[in-house]
Amino acid sequence: MKSVYIVHVKRTPIGRLGGGLAPVRPDDLMALVFADHLKNLSYDAKEIDDVIVGCANQAGEDNRNVGRMAAVLAGIPYEVPAVTLNRLCGSSLDAVADAYARIASGMADCIWVGGVESMTRGPYVLSKAQAPFGRDQQMYDTTFGWRFPNPKMESMFPLFSMGETAEEVARDYKVSREDQDSFALASHQKAISAWENGSFKEEVLPVKVQLKKKEYTVEQDENPRADTSLDALTKLRPVFRKDGSVTAGNASSMNDGAAMAVVVSEEFLKRHNLTPIARITGAGVRGVHPNVMGIGPIEAVNTLCKRFNKKTSDFDVVELNEAFAAQALACLRELEIDPAITNNNGGAI
């Protein structure tokens, strides 16, 4: 097995729904990040073996292999192929894992990995009528949630929204509203602190947005709030269930943005005198019941640790998805991970 390294990372600022990045197509967002790195290569771009992009929506401008579209728009040579993966929230993380596996096995030496989403620009979709002049069409907003669910699946279990699955996790793992709000506040505070101390300076690529009558630049993540407080968070009403605990304040927001990483073999790294940022040594996935989807990291991490003979206590820094504070806390507790070493620069909340 070859050793595998990450040698470059870059991302756009994360824009809020309807925010500064709303006018930018997702394929253009991804292309911007690719094109920025393309300008500073120490190797021929034709040496890129593949481009792998994660994207969860793929219902509008990000359809039909947005990874390939972004690569072409960025100016990556046509000889370099591209593919788009979809594991919903974990799509771009899975793209990194796929790049790792290909390079470790000797199938590739240099893979550009990306992730892109524009929840603002997710379109409405309309089904076709089942018969001429039929009136049975269904319409869905693709920004969030189920669309065109299979009736057979509906008979298997309730098709909960993401927020309802968080309520299920909060109940099953006894995560209180108070703990969720405190976790959410800490996420905002850590993100604001990271911006203030310059932690994101080299990571974030400002995006210039050109409209017909004005131009502006998005330079910073739009969702972290310096003015939020525990008092403000506790006043928010539950969104998904009347007697629930999941609110707009302790859930992640809907966003627009793109990110990339360059993953290479040790041989490629040495040949081109590249500086490693991190070494990838393993990856793991596991499924859970859809109605408690947020505990997926528990099973995936346990699978990973068992396979590589590790314990969660072996890690000094942990990044964990914050789809909802309820599921993040459930995962941390079950995996016995200290929140103090988790998401040091804030997270999805």
What distance in Å separates the CA atoms of residue 47 and residue 13, rounded to the nearest whole number? 28
Gap between the Cα atoms of 247 and 241, Å rounded: 9
For the entire predicted model, the pTM comes to 0.96
Residue 72 forms part of a structural domain: yes
* pLDDT of the residue at 198: 97
Encoded tokens for 62: 């990000």
Asked whether residue 192 is assigned to any structural domain, the reply reads: no
> Looking at residue 319, what is its pLDDT?
98
Residue 205: the pLDDT is: 99
CA dihedral for 318, 226, 164, 59, sign (positive or negative): negative
Q: What is the CATH number of the domain that holds 61?
A: 3.40.47.10
Examine residue 155 and state whether it is found in any structural domain, yes or no: no
Query: How many separate domains does the chain show?
Result: 1
| In-domain check, residue 79 | yes
C-alpha pair distances (Å), 301 with each of 25, 38, 287 = 34, 34, 11
Contact 41, 262 (CB under 8 A): no
Query: E strands, 172-252, where?
Result: 207-210, 215-218
Question: Within a domain: residue 195?
Answer: no
Tokens matching residue 41: 């290569």
Dihedrals phi, psi of 316, to nearest 5 degrees: -90, -25
H/E stretch holding 50: strand 50-54
Would residue 330 count as lying in a domain?
Answer: no
Yes or no: say if 93 and 54 are a contact pair by the CB < 8 Å rule: yes
Q: Each residue's pLDDT tens digit in the chain (349 positions)?
A: 999 999 999 999 999 999 999 999 999 999 999 999 999 999 999 999 999 999 999 999 999 999 999 999 999 999 999 999 999 999 999 999 999 999 999 999 999 999 999 999 999 999 999 999 999 999 999 998 999 999 999 999 999 999 999 999 999 999 999 999 999 999 999 999 999 999 999 999 999 999 999 999 999 999 999 999 999 999 999 999 999 999 999 999 999 999 999 999 999 999 999 999 999 999 999 999 999 999 999 999 999 999 999 999 999 999 999 999 999 999 999 999 999 999 999 999 9
Number of neighbouring beta carbons within 10 Å of residue 283:
19
- Is residue 327, in this structure, part of any structural domain at all? no
DSSP 326: H
End-to-end CA distance of the chain: 37
Q: How many helices (H) and strands (E) does the chain have?
A: 10, 11
Give the model's pLDDT for residue 62.
Answer: 97
Q: Which pLDDT score, from 0 to 100, does residue 287 have?
A: 97
- The residue segments making up the domain with residue 86 are 1-126+139-144+254-280
Alpha helices in 134-176 (DSSP H): 151-154, 162-172
Q: Amino acid identity of 337?
A: I
In a domain, 105, yes or no: yes
